[in-house]
Chains A and B, each alone.
Chain A
Amino acid sequence: MVLDRRMLEALGIDDVDQLFSDVPDEVRIDGLPLPTGKSEMEVIIKVRDMLAQNTTVEQVPSFLGGGIYNHFIPSAVKAIAGRSEFLTSYTPYQAEISQGMLQALFEYQSMMSELTAMDVVNSSNYDGATALGEAATMCHRISPKSAFMVPSAMNWEKRSVLKNYIDGVGMSVIEYCYDPYTGGMDMDDVRSKMTSDVCGIYAEVPNLFGIIDPNVTKLKKEFPEVPLVVGVNPLSLALVRPPGEYGADIVIGEGQPLGISMSFGGPLLGIFACRSEHVRKMPGRLIGMTKDHDGRRAFCMTLQTREQHIRRSKATSNICSNEALMAVTASAYLGIVGAKGLRSLARLNMKNAKLLMDRLDPLDGFMAPMFDGAHFNEFVVRTPLHPVKLNKLLLRHGIIGGMPMHTHVPRMTEHMLMTATELTTMKDIDKLVIALQEVTQ
């Protein structure tokens, strides 16, 4: 694009390079060795063709889950989240001209607070894994001790992220085992590992194995002084008792199931909720209801003194950019499906997972589920072939198989996590069963 000569003239210069006279020769480069620019048409064709190499879950049935799920997204959700007034705005520092975003985020906080039965929800973290990391360091601020208890059966990525978040404050992790029959927490192991050095305990509902573990309700009763962090799949909370009702101090989770596309793993939505008494120790942005100077209802960012732009190295977190648009997406989704729709969808997920389970179990060499706890929308199945190999064979039959378990629980070398959602059809399951029979013969 040609530079606007009028501005150069107004500045009394004839070469734009004069505006860079303060950049020393020693550090200068001569342009960027990238290809020259392209037209919009060329860009769209090139990128579209490149991406066309991807196989999508619209083209073939998929049984993958493990934290990211293929759910139906009502068309209106995309229409709302695509409004460019939301999409192209920045963090709502200027409340008066940003009421739309602020109210939408307040409503997100509110809906998530209803789902989790917690008073306070921030307006988003990056994803479930970083929310866990922030929850652990927040426990350390609530109770300045150094150990954080987590299940040994946890997505390894979360474990790795957690380690990076807690290292800086000198915390370490204690892992408790799962019960090999139910797949829930081994409460005896939790009791034996609980020491006075523990600043928080983390449990997931559903857990890595897809199990709705009732033991989680015992934690606050048995260890009332230890901050309890519960990780949730928000969709399951339509039917499952919310953590706020059994004493959770902090609730975190991955919000992607609430109307957010999988998009190869991002952007996602980190849910972060806590009890009112901990609010000043919480990371992330908070939107509060207030009034304007004429007494009308209004919304603005509040408790900013916790945040990095005010508190700098003493802030509760470094988070600045978050996932605000994903939060708006999730609340638009919850608004459209409503309480009734969300409960129906959760039931459909459970029902389809049960159908899938019942079809896989009788197959030669398969056992489903591995654990006898109650499952939400996924379960562990034992496979006669190594799951990675099995998945490659399934892909040749036009099927995306489940998630291999060994990367998360090393001893589970012949185990796969199979997931169903409301989008899983009988036809998909039939196709899977036929393919499995063929490839394992």
Chain B
Amino acid sequence: MSYRQARYDEPLIFELLGGNDFCPVCDDKVRIPEEMVRQDLCLPDIPEREVVRHYINLSQMNFGVDNGMYPLGSCTMKYNPKYADLLSSLSTVTSVHPYQDEESVQGALQLMRDLEKALCIISGMDAVTLQPAAGAHGEFTGMLIAKAYHAANNQQRDEVIVPDSAHGTNPASAAMAGFTVIEVPSGPDGCIDLEAVKAALSERTAAVMVTNPNTLGLFEKDIADLARLVHSYGALLYYDGANLNAIMGITTPGAMHFDIVHFNLHKTFATPHGGGGPGAGPVGVRMYLEPYLPVPRIISEDGKYRFDYDRKESIGKVRSLYGNFGVLVRAYAYILEQGGDGLKDVSQRAVLNSNYLKSRVVPTYEMPFAQLRKHEFVISAKKLAKEKGVHATDIAKGLLDKGFMTPTIYFPSLVEEALMIEPTETESKETLDRYAQALIDIASADPEQLRTAPHNTAISRVDEVYAAKELILSWRIYQRKKGPGSP
């Protein structure tokens, strides 16, 4: 199947012309201190119709899961069911103010409490907070909890250990919480090297952050030993939930002896990612860490739900209000629809799809480390790069030309020319076959054609160097810099 994306020379909204037709108009005088009065405001004044056409044209130059397969590794871009959109757009969601009296928001509180309980079951944890706005925000919350826990036990622990295969957010979140980050190399099998972790552990270790399955798609087989080791040093074991889609109903972070977990509702629980967000990153903990969770907690008494702010050991708040409620509604509906049986089925199908697709593209592409994968796998374009000068980027751009989103590329860094593929459970065998064929065709395609790809997208290959050099980050800057040869 050939692919061609819309290619409009859509002007910037500032460059559109026409009169503003928005009502109402109000010219009444209002009281503003003289030195605080605004003189001019440069925003476009154009008719609604033109604004709508502008954005519809832009949307047609964008690619989402609803356009086609989106196997970005570690991002779990599965199909987003439409009933979830419908429910999150009900006025009983959108038109509720967060500071309303608890009596008037019982439905919202019940939904959040029920979602907390479901996430406890899915993760094997004892308590969950829904407050964090994203996965990395959940990690940060988890690190603050670890810090509070050790401080309450009069322990001076200022180090966090992460494997070199971890997502970049792990070390960044730990550092933001004030920890010194120690990265340990993976073992020769791509899994955590227990000896390396042991060498890094000490009475200064606050936590060890682990993703399981890891970013190579490998299940950390020594996880129980690792947990015992980490706990023997009095440190906590943190579970990065980015890859939870692989294990639901098979194991839980709780069964693997993790102490803190974050979930990415926009990955595992099918809430759409909106071009970068909103997501939601709830955090689950064991009972002994529950006192440190952010406020408020939701409690039910006599059939009524209420917020509890009176929690002395709580870390306080990590954002305003209670979480990305619109996202929570979607995830709750998804969990209801799937049920316990359905979620296990999701993981089984995700892992089957991944292993099937892997079997189709290996050995055309090399795959370092063991063969059995969970929900994602990482192949390498090292051979193609060496023999034909075709790099992971070129393969990615070639896939775009065939109407597919690319894998995650150049990550994890322990694989050269990495292509990290996560098909998710929502793709059919037919689609996986087409994707596999696209990758196979690219391996034997004209290298020159690939190095100049893509050709069928809204623009040809983008000049990132120019962007970083010129730093045209707004219309305001563009107006100043504009000259002959400007875009």
Contact = CB atoms under 8 A, between A and B. Distances in A.
A264 B108 CA distance: 8
Interface in B117-173: 118, 121-122, 124, 133-137, 139-140, 144, 167-169, 171-173
Nearest to A75: B48
B172 A318 contact: yes
Contacts of B70: 90
Given A88-B64, A344-B24, A395 B101 contact: yes
A109 B13 CA distance: 12
B58 A100 contact: yes
Contacts of A297: 9, 487
A23 B275 contact: no
Contacts of A440: none
A336 B32 contact: no
B9 to A, nearest CB: 7
Nearest first, the 3 closest Cβ-Cβ pairs linking A and B are: A265-B321, A325-B274, A100-B62
Q: Of residues B26, B323, B470, which shows the largest number of chain A Cβ atoms within 10 Å of its Cβ? A: B26
B98 A264 contact: yes
Contact of A70 (B59, B95, B342, B396): B95
Contact of B43 (A64, A88, A115, A254): A115
Interface string A68-94: 101000101011101111111111111
Interface in B352-390: 352-353, 355-356, 359, 372
Contacts of A43: 83, 87, 333, 336-337
A52 B468 CA distance: 50
A28 B255 contact: yes
A374 B359 contact: no
Nearest to B177: A168
Contacts of A237: 38, 41
Contact of A84 (B66, B174, B318, B473): B66
Nearest to A288: B467
A205 B33 CA distance: 12
Interface residues of A, number: 194
Contacts of A8: 352
Interface stretch (B200-208, B230-238, B456-464): B456-464
Contacts of A28: 250-251, 255
8 contacts: A19-B372, A58-B95, A109-B474, A161-B319, A262-B94, A263-B326, A296-B459, A348-B26
B30 interface: yes
A165 B98 CA distance: 23
A97 B405 contact: yes
Contacts of B312: none
Contact of A38 (B14, B100, B339, B468): B339
Contacts of A50: 107, 110-111
Nearest to B79: A88
B263 interface: no
Contacts of A336: 22, 48, 51
Interface string B78-90: 0011010111111
Interface stretch (A141-149, A185-193, A301-309, A427-435): A301-309
Interface in B423-444: 428-429, 432
A124 B344 CA distance: 35
B44 interface: yes
B56 A266 contact: no
